[in-house]
Amino acid sequence: MQLGMQLDFQGVLLLMWGATVPLIYYGFICDPNLRWIYWGVQSSLAIAASAFTLQPNFKDPSLKMLRALTFGGFACSSLVPIIHAIARYGWEVQMKRMGLVWVFATLAFNTVGATAYAFKFPEATFPRTFDIFGCSHQILHLAVICAGLTHMVGILQAFDFLHDNGNTCPQLA
């Protein structure tokens, strides 16, 4: 059980980190230095969170809130480069470069899944009704799948925009 839980935590962190890599790439396509800085910061935070989750007592039920804060904090850190890219290059440009509509849809799916899981909805509200099908853990996994697919659409949109429009960097155009 311990190994399975640790692998689950590592997988979640890897998925979260991996989702930021293309967003940073497309968001800072015109500024390689910032791109590398954000990649370094996100990678460092992912490694720190990973090391933290591997601690033997991290799985203790009394540390549920600390686990939530670890994953939630890392998720919030991925918003920093997105907000910075919007502030630096503007909303309209980043809507196309980063596929922001899809980024926000991804965020919504992940929030729904995490909230259902954190509050054990619906099984806490309707005891014995969702013991097999429709429980919070299943809702979480469905939401993560939807988030992953939504994220993929956004990255494909960003890829298409970059390759269809060539150089969109104002200082280099």
Classify the phi-psi angles of 120: left when phi > 0, otherwise alpha if psi is within -120 to 50, otherwise beta. Answer: left
Is 151 annotated to bind ligand? Answer: no
What residues in the chain have per-residue pLDDT under 70?
1, 171-173
Give the number of other CB atoms < 10 A from CB of residue 167. 10
Identify the pLDDT of residue 171. Answer: 60
For residue 4, what are its two tokens? 């399975």
Give the number of other CB atoms < 10 A from CB of residue 133. 7
For residue 139, what are its two tokens? 């809702």
Q: Which residues, including other chains, have CB under 8 Å from residue 15's CB and lie 6 or more apart?
A: 144, 148
Q: How many residues does the chain have?
A: 173
Instruction: Kindly report, residue by residue over 38-86, the tens digit of the pLDDT.
Output: 999 999 999 999 999 888 888 788 888 888 899 899 999 999 999 999 9
- Domain segments of the chain as ranges: 2-165
Distances (CA, A) of 16 to 1, 22, 106, 117, 151: 23, 12, 11, 17, 11
Q: How far is residue 51's CA from residue 43's CA, in Å, rounded to a whole number?
A: 12
Give the number of other CB atoms < 10 A from CB of residue 4. 8
Is 137 annotated to bind ligand? Answer: yes
Identify the pLDDT of residue 173. Answer: 40
Task: Tell me the whole-structure pTM to 2 decimals.
Answer: 0.88
Identify the pLDDT of residue 128. Answer: 87
Contact in structure between 41 and 109 (CB atoms under 8 Å): no
